[in-house]
Structure 1
Amino acid sequence: MRISASVMPMVLALAALPQMGWAASPVPAPPDAVETIRLRPGELPAVSLTPELLYRILVAELAAQQGQYDDAAQGLLSLARDTLDPRLAQRAFQMSMSGRNLALALQAAREWARLNPDNPEAVAASLALSASSGQTDGLARTLARRIDSADDKEQAVAQAVGIVSKMTDKRLALDVLDKAVAGVIDTSALAHLALADTAWAAGEPRRALDESYRAQGLAPDSLDAAERILEYGLRIEPREAIRDTYRYLADHPGHRGLQLLLVSRLTGRGQFDEALKLLGDMRRQAPEDFDLLYTEAEVNARAGRYVAAKSLLNEYITIQQQRRRSLAEGASSAQADVSDARLLLVQIAERQDDLAEAIRQLHAIDESSLRFQARTHEAVLYGKLGDLPKARATLDAIKPIDRRERVVIQLTLASIYRGAGRTDQAVDTLKAADLAMPDMPEIKYELGMLLHQQGKTAEFETLMKRVIELDPDDANAYNSLGYTYADTNRNLPEARDLLERALDLDPENPFILDSVGWYLFRTEDYQGALEYLRRSYDQLPAADVAAHLGEALWMLKRPEQARRIWAEGLKADPDNETLKSTLRRLGVSLP
């Protein structure tokens, strides 16, 4: 077997194994001895590094290098069982996880834990994978024993949380954790915080808040408890949560992070004056904390108080520029801070429809990490102003540093042409880019979507299939092709497979949920369609989704609900052709 240069370092490492604990023992232990052997901590099995053993290790590692993780893991797991060496089982576990084969990873983790039962990482991996695969029998008892016997009970609780968090059934996870921490629940604030987080994940916000208060009762100074009381309390008892956060801050005035979290949450609730008052108090306490100027500007911008926001941002920029001049190059974050302020000024200018000012601010950004983003954004704004030659010239002046930037430039140019109604030029741009960079799925995807808009369905489908070949994890490509099949009511079995894959990759994506719902509608599973379409509409109340959701309701004999959804969709987008054609087809007129 010829060994490539890339494998040579691995061969040299393997040659050193005898010095790492591999001894000149002639024969590995028989398989039936596996259950009875228990190595002392730090002890490794006495196994000679024979040519056959070295060959098997090399074969596994070469398989991993070629992306054949299942073959690599199987080979290493077999070696671990033959040699009783936990390092090989650990390596098999790592290969299985790289290949996302959880069933094989569970086998390897169990072997690793059996061969090295005193290794907490091995035991935790085994338990975590058992939990993730739904094998929870005895899990609570095992975790409770580990916590009870641990010298560091807080660490044991944290490990238990990590294991339980892998469980897909969050309510069952809460039940398991409840039993696991029962022995320390009267003394451990961490146990209550863990229960709070697990209850929240299980959809029990009241329990989450109660556990947070119990944690604070055991540890009144706990910042973690205070943060959870604010976060979880805003869902259940917002006034009380805000009040109790102020009380905590009165006793712990130095907790800037919690103060800023409260500012953020007040702003999110539209309580702008209260957020600004808190920021004013913080600035008086720490007048040298110039970052608060930026935060105050953000709150004013969210409130639509653009004059105040711009004044604060310009003051902030002046201060940061002075800092930059007074400090050695690279000694401060002043340049990045100035860029952040200018980006917020860009947002404000765009909201005020002052695109020329937005361009001016973008042009002033000179930080190297943001220069590419700023120039491409400038080009987009020139396109919105209708100055296509200037937009093109701005993009042409960019010197891309890699293929990714080349791709973004071409996608941006195509987007500018499309926004200007010049779809043919957008298509020509992407076709030229696809010829120059034929292995870039992003270009093929955008080109396919444009061709679909032009009614060139066959070309679109060919491109989507090629995107999937190039990037098997591109959920959007599966979704686009699957939806097209469903919408045209053809290739429905293939549409199902495509949409199932898209849903696996991105289960909460509202566009994918809409596609799955529309597929189920096409198969006349109207109740199933309703479930997915409602989930999509809750996240994305767009006219297209409203058209689909309304039609599912219509088929389920719920005309009033359908009319209400359709009316909402028309209000959001009066010219949406999908919705208008749905109403025409069903003979529905709305007031």
Structure 2
Amino acid sequence: MSSKPHSSIIARPETSLLTAATLALAAFLAVPASFAQTNSQTGSAKTVQEKTPAAQPTAGQQPDLAQSYYHYMLAHEYEELATTSGRPEYATRAIEEYKLALNDDPSSKYLNSGLAELYFRTGHVRDSILAAQEQIKKDPNNLEAHKLLGNIYLRSLGDGQQGSPSDEMLKLAIGEYSKIVSLEPNNVEDRLLLGQLYSFAHDSAHAEEQFAAAKKIDPGSEDTALNMARLYTEQGDAKRAIQVLNDLPEEDKTGKTEFILGSTYDRLKDPKRAIEAYRKSLDLEPDNLDAERALAKALLNDNQLTPALQAYQDIASGDPSDPDAYLRISEIERRQGNYEEALTTLKKAKSLASDSLEISFNEGLLDDALGRYDDAAQIFEKLVADSEHTSGQYSDSEKSNRSLFLERLAIIYGEQNNTDKAIATYQKMAELGGEYVDHAYEAEVDTYRQAHDYDKATQVAREAVAKQPKSRAAKLMLAAQLADNGHVDEGVAMAKSLLNKTPADLEVYRQLANVYTRLRRWKEASEAIDQADQLSSGADDKLYIHFLRGTLFERQKLFTDAENEFRAALAIDPKNTMTLNYLGYMLADHDMKLDEALAMIQKAVELDPQNYAYLDSLGWAYFKLGKYNLAEEDLRKAVERNSTDATVHDHLGELYEKTGRLKLAASQWEESLNEYGHTVAADIDPGDVTKVQKRLDSARVRLAKEGSPLSPAAAKP
């Protein structure tokens, strides 16, 4: 026996491989098909031919099993060398040796299968297919040949254009696995694979049939349940997917099952059950960072800020290089009002992903929240510039991002009282086309209204209709503007002209309800809401009906009825910020259920911390509770964000008066009356104007008695 190193084996393969063949004789004796079987009693090798006659290569000629095995072992060794060295010539030699082995034993299924598989492993796919097909011609029920063909077709699915599956290969793979399933019908893995292929071919009925068969074979198979759940989810039946997963016995569920359950509940917007499933997934696989991330996200989506913060802090601790964890921590800190802490955390995220658009976006939000409007504007100006394409062509995701950047920049310009820049920014949004056009025009109208320039607001609404004559949204916006500006009949007629006895009438009746409520035409408003209610079907539609009725009752000072409607809306969506703020403010303004009112408004501010109206409501609730320091902080923020709202100035005036700063109070009431003087009648409750005037008159008298008159600049008639 040669004692030379392995390199000599490569130099003279025939000699060394023959030695290897001799040493591997025991393995040969165990080889299936026509090679050999071991006689356990005598220890001698008897050929299979002694029991079953082999196919004759030529008349009267017997297979040479020893020589066949010799070439097989050479083929095996060459194959190993090809694998370890990566040299293709060894693969070629392996194929040649397989052919020589088959010359000595042509009927061997084992050798035929081995050669076909070797062709496949060495990239000779066509030869592999032909070899397997040849075996199937000889034996249509050759399971190994069908599996090889199926495997080849399966691996070739990605050869279609642009990465899409090849229809022909998919059809061939389905054909082979259908045959495989018929040959071994109780094999769960085969059933699942065939079901997946059918699913890939969008043949849901046959896919479900195979998954059901697999489930019947093994009712506790997690793989089967996961495949069925995926199929139902693709069909849009998430509830059925959940049922399949929940039907699995608890002992058969793994962390993967619970994770998929959580993601499916997320699809259904059921954060409570999603959180429960993700927690179970983590219990089963404590080190699964994906499950922990999903749990943290679900907690954040459910507005459970404290546990979400803890979860993201755990993620950051486990993976300090994860910028998303720091980004979410910063977001939560911002929503909790801890702006400086949020900014510090965000800098950690930025150090890990300096080119992240989302991180830059959140940095701008933080600067805005801190009142650093110039810094915030600079960030969003850069985001807008970087997202601009000179061609004007954008993908859907690019449009979505750019619209967010433009909208936030326009809002900051509005906070800086720079109406012209805000309008120009919204006009850039309209250039994105489609749904962004209506949104841009609506925002322009709101911006002009906030600046009390109602004529320009109406002009923009008319322009929107002229440029989009088929847009119902534009016509309804113009109708509302006309009604507010004293052209009531024209506005109402325009809205009614859009009624056509279709489900689209829902939006028309909603707008009519708003118009009539603002005009204090209570009966007509109620009738419009009733009509809208009849056309409402989904939860969101019903929520808005309750909100409209609540607003109508509140404007009539029917506060109990209004509260009932607002609570009905919150029962549908407890996180609806519009309803939370409206009900919270109404209760606080009338000294009712102050603690609950505060909690509602706090929740609204958490969800939309830059909304000046919500900040004003929060400050007013604190004021009613006697927490004047907290009240002043939020009321001042509200005035900074919108200096044209008369109510905000009035509230800050009352706070100054209560804390002994009468001169500042009088100045705020003068600002309030000034803004009331420029506000459209539909936005004013005449009783509020009278109250502010009385407060100002009383303050002037008291200041005069104290010898502290208002400064000439501040003292306006």
Bin of the TM-score, shorter chain as denominator length: 0.5 to 0.7
Q: Distance in 1 between matches of 2:566 and 2:283?
A: 42
Q: Distance in 1 between matches of 2:595 and 2:251?
A: 45
Q: Distance in 2 between matches of 1:503 and 1:430?
A: 31
> Which residue is 1:521 aligned to?
623
Q: Distance in 2 between matches of 1:353 and 1:177?
A: 43
Q: Which runs of 5+ in 1 are unaligned?
A: 1-14, 23-45, 148-159, 206-229, 271-297, 304-308, 310-319, 321-332
Which is higher, the Rg of structure 1 or of structure 2?
2
Structure 1 residue 552 corresponds to structure 2 residue 651: no
Structure 1 residue 509 corresponds to structure 2 residue 680: no
Q: Distance in 1 between matches of 2:655 and 2:671?
A: 16
**How far does residue 484 in structure 1 lie from its aligned partner after superposition?**
2.1
Structure 1 residue 200 corresponds to structure 2 residue 363: yes
Change (3 A) 1:425 1:55: same
Q: Distance in 1 between matches of 2:348 and 2:412?
A: 37
Structure 1 residue 162 corresponds to structure 2 residue 324: yes
Residues 151-190 of structure 1 mapped to structure 2, 5 A cutoff: 160-167=322-329, 168-169=332-333, 190=353
**How far does residue 552 in structure 1 lie from its aligned partner after superposition?**
1.9
Change (3 A) 1:415 1:568: same
AA of the residue aligned to 1:162:
D
> Which residue is 1:280 aligned to?
none
SS of residue paired to 1:588 = helix
> Which residue is 1:374 aligned to?
474
> Which residue is 1:100 aligned to?
271
Structure 1 residue 584 corresponds to structure 2 residue 682: no
Structure 1 residue 563 corresponds to structure 2 residue 666: yes
Q: Which runs of 5+ in 2 are unaligned?
A: 1-185, 194-214, 300-306, 335-339, 369-373, 414-419, 678-683, 701-709
**How far does residue 569 in structure 1 lie from its aligned partner after superposition?**
2.5
Residues 41-440 of structure 1 mapped to structure 2, 5 A cutoff: 49-50=218-219, 82-83=251-252, 85-95=254-264, 97=266, 98-101=269-272, 104=276, 106-108=278-280, 110-111=282-283, 114=286, 121-122=290-291, 125=294, 132-135=308-311, 139-140=315-316, 142-144=318-320, 160-167=322-329, 168-169=332-333, 190-191=353-354, 197=360, 200=363, 234=378, 302=424, 353=455, 364-365=466-467, 370-380=470-480, 383=483, 388-399=488-499, 403=503, 405-417=504-516, 421=519, 423-424=521-522, 426-430=524-528, 432-433=530-531, 436-437=534-535, 440=542
Q: Distance in 1 between matches of 2:435 and 2:358?
A: 40
Change (3 A) 1:92 1:175: farther
Q: Distance in 1 between matches of 2:437 and 2:599?
A: 49
| 8 Å contact from structure 2 (residues 604, 614) kept in 1 | yes
Change (3 A) 1:494 1:19: farther
Tell me which moved more, 348-357 or 484-493. 348-357
Change (3 A) 1:521 1:583: farther
| 8 Å contact from structure 1 (residues 513, 535) kept in 2 | yes
Deviation string for 1:368-401 (max 9, x for gaps)?
xx52123324534554675555444433332558
**How far does residue 125 in structure 1 lie from its aligned partner after superposition?**
3.8
| 8 Å contact from structure 1 (residues 346, 362) kept in 2 | no
Tell me which moved more, 354-363 or 465-474. 354-363
Deviation string for 1:97-133 (max 9, x for gaps)?
4422375365245357558x5xx85575468779943
| 8 Å contact from structure 1 (residues 482, 496) kept in 2 | yes
Deviation string for 1:14-61 (max 9, x for gaps)?
x99755779xxxxxxxxxxxxxxxxxxxxxxx9984379899999x99
| 8 Å contact from structure 1 (residues 527, 556) kept in 2 | no
| 8 Å contact from structure 1 (residues 395, 409) kept in 2 | yes
Percent identical pairs in the alignment equals: 17
Change (3 A) 1:537 1:407: farther
Change (3 A) 1:570 1:141: same
What TM-score, normalized to structure 2? 0.46
**How far does residue 94 in structure 1 lie from its aligned partner after superposition?**
1.5
> Which residue is 2:174 aligned to?
none
**How far does residue 344 in structure 1 lie from its aligned partner after superposition?**
12
| 8 Å contact from structure 1 (residues 92, 108) kept in 2 | no
| 8 Å contact from structure 2 (residues 259, 278) kept in 1 | no
| 8 Å contact from structure 1 (residues 502, 512) kept in 2 | yes
Structure 1 residue 451 corresponds to structure 2 residue 587: no
Q: Distance in 1 between matches of 2:476 and 2:377?
A: 42
How many residues align? The count is: 434
**How far does residue 518 in structure 1 lie from its aligned partner after superposition?**
1.9
**How far does residue 581 in structure 1 lie from its aligned partner after superposition?**
1.6
Change (3 A) 1:408 1:162: same
AA of the residue aligned to 1:528:
L
| 8 Å contact from structure 2 (residues 563, 583) kept in 1 | yes
| 8 Å contact from structure 1 (residues 549, 565) kept in 2 | yes
